[in-house]
Amino acid sequence: MASMRDIKRRRSSIQSTGQITKAMKLVSTVKLQRTKQAAQNSKGYFDYMYRTVSSMLAKAGQIEHPYVKGNESDKKAVVMITGNRGLAGGYNSNIVKLVTRGDLKKEDMIIYTLGKKGREAMNRHGYTLAEDYSTMIDAPEYVDAMRLSATLLSAYRAGEIGEIYLAYTNFKNTVVHEPKLMKLLPVDKAEQIEGPVEEIQGSEAPMNFEPEEEEALDMIIPKYVTSIIYGGMIESVASENGARMQAMDNATTNAEEMIDKLTLQYNRARQGSITQELTEIIAGSQAQS
């Protein structure tokens, strides 16, 4: 059996770890409230944006626009959103798994990382990395997303990349977050035409565009890409805090369990040593008499 001193030292070490995880849990709970609110506030905008672009494409018929048609390049840009910090359960590794799973060929991918953890992991796996945008994820701002999408779109127009994907964590609710890989460009018509599109189309007269469809697409698609990236950023941040809150909650519970167990062991060891001392004293006095 371990000595009393060892058990005591171990117990106090776990106790202080438990205090840290508890504090981290509280911090991420507060952050979660804030980021969750932000994610909810912006949901309306993204849903509407998505619907508008979908219905535009559905109505516009056969448009020969580079954003719809695609270009020659095989390269695929993947915008990968992870956290800058660890200790968030499977949050970071789930995204890394999703991207490295093999849906896209490794040689074709160029990874645009938001989040240090993802960058480190992809670097280890030997993927081609583009610039780092990790600072954006600390406090996502719409202008950041604008800057990133401008970079992506100019590379797309120049033919350096042929497709753009977004890997982010969808915030379903406080406990459920799912990693998602989404294709941004070229906009897939087949995928887009589903659900609410008919609602808009059905009863209404055909939509007119000013300027003409192609020109309008030219201006709306960049906004669409920006808004999806921004949405991905906010949802990911909310998910990160949610994941960290859960992970830290589990860690605190585990720490408490271990402390209970060690306290029991410690008391047994203490009793054991007292019994032993007593036996020795009695044995000693009996020997003398």
Instruction: Name which of 39 and 243 has its Cβ closer to other proteins.
Output: 39
CA distance 192 to 185: 12
- We find the least distance from the C-beta atom of residue 234 to other proteins, in angstroms, to be 9
Instruction: Name which of 10 and 31 has its Cβ closer to other proteins.
Output: 31
- We find the least distance from the C-beta atom of residue 183 to other proteins, in angstroms, to be 21
CA distance 281 to 286: 9
- We find the least distance from the C-beta atom of residue 132 to other proteins, in angstroms, to be 23
- We find the least distance from the C-beta atom of residue 226 to other proteins, in angstroms, to be 8
Tokens 């059905």 correspond to: 202
Cβ neighbours of residue 183 under 8 Å, at least 6 residues apart?
163, 164, 165, 191
Q: Which residues make up the interface to other proteins (CB under 8 A)?
A: 38, 41-42, 44-46, 48-49, 52, 56, 142, 146, 204-211, 216, 219-220, 223, 226-227, 230-231
Instruction: Name which of 163 and 235 has its Cβ closer to other proteins.
Output: 235
Task: Count CA atoms closer than 13 A to 98's CA, side-chain side.
Answer: 24
Cβ proximity of 40 and 281 under 8 Å: no
Mind giving me the DSSP string for 58-83?
HHH-S---HHHH--S---EEEEEE--
CA distance 81 to 286: 75
- We find the least distance from the C-beta atom of residue 88 to other proteins, in angstroms, to be 24
Report which of 167, 193, 166, 230 is spatially closest to residue 68, judged by C-alpha positions. Answer: 193
Q: Which two tokens stand for residue 260?
A: 């209970």
- We find the least distance from the C-beta atom of residue 195 to other proteins, in angstroms, to be 17
Helix (H, G, I), strand (E, B) or coil at 181: strand
H-type alpha helices, 61-141: 66-69, 91-100, 116-125
CB atoms within 10 A of CB 279: 10
Task: Count CA atoms closer than 13 A to 197's CA, side-chain side.
Answer: 16
Instruction: Name which of 79 and 111 has its Cβ closer to other proteins.
Output: 79
- We find the least distance from the C-beta atom of residue 104 to other proteins, in angstroms, to be 28
Instruction: Name which of 208 and 289 has its Cβ closer to other proteins.
Output: 208
Helix (H, G, I), strand (E, B) or coil at 246: helix
Instruction: Name which of 88 and 221 has its Cβ closer to other proteins.
Output: 221
Tokens 């840009």 correspond to: 77
- We find the least distance from the C-beta atom of residue 219 to other proteins, in angstroms, to be 5
Instruction: Name which of 63 and 207 has its Cβ closer to other proteins.
Output: 207
Instruction: Name which of 86 and 222 has its Cβ closer to other proteins.
Output: 222
